[in-house]
Structure 1
Amino acid sequence: MKKYLLAGVLLVFSFLMNGCGEKTFLPERKELVDLELIEAVGIDKSPDNPEDIRVTITSKMDKQGAGAGRMEATGQAAQGGGAVVVSSEGKTVSEAARIFQTYNKKQVFWGYADFFIIGEEAAREDLIKYLDLLSRGQALRHNARIFIVKDATAEELLAISKTGALYVPQLLNILLSSTGLMSVFGRLELIELMGRLDDEYSDVIIPALRIAQKDPIGQKKDESDEIEIRLEGYAVFKDAKLIAFADKPESMGINFITNKVKSGVVNVKDSTDREVALEIIKANTKIIPRFDGDTVSVLVKAAVESNVAEMHSTIDIFNKDELEKLEEQQAAAVKQYMETAVKLAQINNTDILDIADRIYHKHPVKWQSLKGRWKEIFPNIRFDFEVASAVKRTYDIRQPNKYKAGEGE
């Protein structure tokens, strides 16, 4: 029996391991030096023909100065600072992507792309139209991150790499590493976006980027140094079309309700009306659907714990009365964040808070009577909020500088 098994294995390998020039079932081998490694892809509507799609790619030049810059003969490439940004157009993303290969000696390799960036105008038209190839293409990474550019095109954002001051993919990695510091934005992978787009009852939010000018401090800086990229909360979608942007308080509220808050700062005031910064160390939220007959309401229960990170007065705030005041203000701030998020979602009738999913999993039988009317029901749902707030401790020092015993008590 073992002999027959061994013979079968050898037969299979004889088909797979064909000689040079023969077709093989294995993927074609490519040397790394022969590949153009694309790190970020931008997709926009064509500025000249709205029916066409404009695709922009960026990659780094190698040590010899070679890179996608060899495409510059077409007049579509610009390079500087060791990075190359190239654009092409077509009726579809596929056509525009193939055009890159026609004037590049290396094979354009899309599997290295870690960021897909959609311009605002394209996102407002139809997200699915521009994402289909990204979802379908076998060479593309489904764990690549997705962004929407606010008040600009994806090409304009990627073009920042031309100056040499910033290499956009590297900067985006740095920004994403700080996602949990303030919890006013998030990250989204292509595979997760694909799943959310297939959800009939929930809608999509995508992290938003904005091109901004740095505020010069001290000496005058050259123009390239003044450009920066900022994460700007979320882009809000309805039926796969961009309809609004969530500002920082709204985005913070979205993250609280969807249980994505890792940390952050809540500014409150002590009894002397001086600032106290509370650093969130733990946050947890439960969504509790409630039914009164056929009427559904939602209770949002959040628990927030924080430490005192900074204070501006010289009083002792670590007593029962002071701590209660701080905790009440923290609870009020968190409640306000969540209220603004709910208001944004209900005004636009877009379930970006996953309420439908919570009802479905907690009350699957009752959900059957709601799902057919969900778009009518969601804007009118009553939301109630409960916030359990706790200030746990401080850090290296308990009492502030120039503390005087008895002051403020």
Structure 2
Amino acid sequence: MSILTFKGGVHPYDGKELSKDKAVRKILPGKELVFPMSQHIGAPAQPTVEVGERVLKGQLIGKATGFVSTNIHSSVSGTVKKIEKRLVPNGSKVLSIVIENDEEYEEIKPYEVPDKWTKEYIREAVANCGVVGLGGACFPTHVKLAPKDENAIDYVIVNAAECEPYITADYRRLVEQPKEVIEGLKIVLKLFDNAKGVIAVENNKPDVIKNLKELTKNEDKISVAELKTKYPQGSERHIIYAVTKRKINSSMLPADAGCIVDNVDTVYNIYRAVALGKPLTERIVTISGDGINEPCNLQVPFGTSHSKLIEEAGGIDENVEKILSGGPMMGQAMFTLDVPVIKGSSALLAFKKDEIAHAVTTNCLNCGKCAMVCPEGLICAKLAQASDANDMDAFIKMHGMECIECGTCNFNCPANRNITQSVRTMKRKVQAMRRKGKSE
């Protein structure tokens, strides 16, 4: 099979050699854990426990409040100390349950697993166990697995691109638990009678590709697709195009193109939910960057403070200028480490130099280099100019809402302009205007 890709994209230094060969190490959390009720797309969960109540590991502590919502479970046993608003990695404050860890890790009985797995049971197990998209979007997985027409789905794609620099969490999952990921894919395929499964991996992971092909050689409905190493190859739209040559836009869902796309760790946790009745209470987090003393991959219970991750990674260099939650292309700068690891926490990166802060920004050169690499084929600089001028009509006319906010334009801009931020700001204004129009 040829190496698959899309038009556009960039090739940043990936930094993966810092942590890719570091086996996942389980850690114990600290004494106080914080569980935000909103760590997913959709309606926040509603607390199901009260202050003073003792909870067990794996116990439901936040119940989904709608179809597009998800359950939250405790990752430890202990006592609920507070229910109040707390900071999360993006800097906002959300209602959270604070649990004092009793360090006994007494576990609640897993959800009951029947002998026969019906489609209804699979979707129910995924919903009960609070599984969400762990590639960053945190979209409730049970919603994704329930499209309007399941017979129209002919591809289930496991997104194993992991195109963000430095992050190696998905790579380690595929190195250490490939069979469980494959079993998770088989479970998803049970939902879609006409679908075949594709595990899509960038070609900077040849060992994983070779092993997956060997493990699936006798699987009629599963294949391994080799993707070109390029950012943002792991974007949902672009991995669909690379694998199927089908295109979707901002008004469409992957299901509209006959596809279901799930991240590697999501599929792994679908297996745990359906086959073992285990709720989602932890995830692999990559701790890396040139400011981290001992880069590593850690299995982290949700609610654990980011400061604990730094401690487990041997501390940070005294000259660190920037710390990120997530990858360097789409991650968010952190002003405090006193925030919990949540379902969307894929990485904690520390860098000795803040490249953006030191960059000198000049006027737009009209060079077109942003448009050359935009995976959506947009004229990024013009969109930014329309946004800065608050010209919403021009922004919409130039298809600004198709921007996926990947940051390739910023990366390729010789003038060091923050194009993505300008476009993002206008997108939010358009979205707010459209919501207001629907409500009137």
TM-score (norm: length of structure 1): 0.20
- Which fold has the larger relative contact order, with Cα–Cα distance below 8 Å and residues 6 or more apart in sequence? 2
Which of these two proteins has the greater Rg computed from alpha carbons? Answer: 1
Tell me which protein shows more helix as a share of its residues: 1
TM-score (norm: length of structure 2): 0.19
